[in-house]
Amino acid sequence: MNVVIPFLLLTTAVKNVHTAYSYALEDNLRTSLGIGTTYNLFVRPLSQVNVTVALNIITLNSLSISDQAMSLAGYLTMFWDDQRLDWSQDATYNTSIPAIYSNEENIWRPALIIENSVSDISIVSDANVLMKIQSGGSVIWTPSGIYITHCETDVTYYPFDTQSCDVIITTWGYTSIEIALYVAQEAVRLEYYKENGEWKYQGFSAYTTSNTREGSSTPEITFTLTFKRRPVFHVLNSLIPMVLLAFLSSMVFKLPPDSGERIGYSLTVLLAYAVYLTIISDNMPSSSSSTSVLSKYAYLTIISDNMPSSSTSTSVLTIYLLFVLALGVLSVIITIYVLDCHHKDEQLPVPKWLIKMSTSCLAKFACWKDNSCLCGRKVQPYGEAKESVPETTDKHSGEYDSLTWKDISTVKRLCTSIGLTGKRTNHSLRASAATRLYNAGIEEQRLAETTGHRSNAVRVYKRTSADQQIEASNILYGLRPSDGSKKAKPSAAAGAPVGSASVECSTDESDKKNVTCNFSFNFSL
């Protein structure tokens, strides 16, 4: 008994020494498995091999709306069983060698492709990535790469859009009879994922389907990745400037027609829209199943060759741009017509249809005079408002029959409303003011600064007023002295001085309106 126990202990120790890992042990295992020798990598392990696939995302390189492509950096994780590589029942190797490694040049692998790739449609292959072969015959392979796939983008709510892009994996050569594809329990893995600055990862979905190719059914797995755009950049650089331009487009009608800047102002705003449309068009696909809302807004402003040529849905932003551009074009057309009306000869009659449109539509819309606004109230002086009273359409018919072209274009009825008659213009106000300032004794230099004249042209306003003319006439005829006191009319019978008066007038050849008169008086006592 004492001899048997040491013998058993020695035998166990020798057995443990032989089962420890060594190069020779793994080399013998590879030889016994036939790896590199008798193992035929063109023969699949089973009649139908079940391959489980998972997608590991490292980063989203880009998601181009204009190119309709998604660039993804990551790797695939594939699982399948190969019973020819099972050594779990061999006590010599199963405890000391839990796994060995090989590559695709020695071990059978499923022939898979990225079906919707736009850069490289080929078998997923990487000889530098090792396959991990476990003792039970399970094979794990993780080939990596940059996957550039087609992405059907939806730009309806650009730049507040959310895009869903697919990564479709299918077999190449093998049919559903030879290979069955399954989605891993953790289909998309984000352990090493790095956030993108423009797109935020929202989630995923994964499912298996079958497709018919060359009359045979082939399995495929679709990984759908959802990303939402971060819109702050586009809001600050596109949306806000376009809204401000839309506001500026309507301000053209605040410019007076005599300023001469209306057309230039309208065209400048219109060209600014064209620039923004070009910028937005660069981000839009040239052909898509949907059209950006922003592009439609810009497209109404200007038609661009870079906008989608065919679409089944339209972007809201595109509609907005088109609408604002249409308003910009309309404002230019209206401005041209208003200026044409403003500079027409006032002797020409205004067409009846234009009078009717101005009195029945435009006057009410602009709350002109005592016409009702769209809100049902009238605009009164000093901001006072009173309830509108139903009026007949003929109330101002007689008054509006006298409308002139300038009334249509600028609504200059101020002089008429206060009782002034005759031809009155904006310039009449400055001329009258300058003449009154001259008569009040204001210095010529100060008067020129007030009226804005830079030369001696201000002297044309140095005219004799009606009061001065009457006073001069009274003095000449002796009706009233210069001091304002009353005086009896001179009489020869009363011994008053007797004399004669003569007047000589001449016209300035350079200025026909300038007439100089010399008065001479001869008295005899």
CATH number at 266 reads 1.20.58.390
Q: What are the phi and psi torsion angles at 207 (to 5°)?
A: -155, 160
In a domain, 98, yes or no: yes
In a domain, 213, yes or no: yes
Q: Which helix (H) or strand (E) holds 26?
A: helix 23-33
pLDDT of 235: 84
pLDDT less than 50: residues of the chain: 1, 3-18, 287-288, 296-312, 374-400, 408, 410-411, 414, 418, 480, 482, 486-498, 523, 525
CA distances from 278 to 62, 271, 305 (A): 22, 11, 9
- 206 shares its domain with 71: yes
pLDDT of 489: 46
- 34 shares its domain with 84: yes
Which residues are 204's β-sheet partners? 225
- How far apart are alpha carbons 165 and 201 in whole angstroms? 11
- How far apart are alpha carbons 181 and 169 in whole angstroms? 9
In a domain, 405, yes or no: no
pLDDT of 141: 94
Residue 425 identity (one-letter amino acid): T
In a domain, 429, yes or no: no
- How far apart are alpha carbons 502 and 104 in whole angstroms? 129
pLDDT of 495: 47
CA 173 to chain centre: 48
**Coil, strand, or helix at residue 182?**
strand
In a domain, 271, yes or no: yes
- 204 shares its domain with 240: no
Q: What is the CATH number of the domain that holds 112?
A: 2.70.170.10
Which token pair is 70? 């998604």
- How far apart are alpha carbons 119 and 62 in whole angstroms? 14
- 240 shares its domain with 280: yes
In a domain, 510, yes or no: no
- How far apart are alpha carbons 356 and 396 in whole angstroms? 11
Last residue of a domain, one of 159, 194, 229: 229
- 53 shares its domain with 147: yes
Which residue range forms the structural domain that includes residue 167? 23-229
Q: What are the phi and psi torsion angles at 14 (to 5°)?
A: -65, -40
SS percent in the chain: helix, strand, coil, step 5 = 35, 25, 40
- 116 shares its domain with 247: no
In a domain, 420, yes or no: no
Q: Residue 156 in contact with residue 163, Cβ under 8 Å?
A: no
Longest dimension (CA), the chain: 189
In a domain, 487, yes or no: no
pLDDT of 493: 43
pLDDT of 426: 58
- 252 shares its domain with 213: no
- 315 shares its domain with 212: no
DSSP state of 351: P
- 210 shares its domain with 145: yes
Which residues are 199's β-sheet partners? 229
- 121 shares its domain with 206: yes
pLDDT of 234: 82
Our CA angle for 100, 102, 106, nearest 5°, is 135
Number of domains in the chain: 2
pLDDT of 343: 78
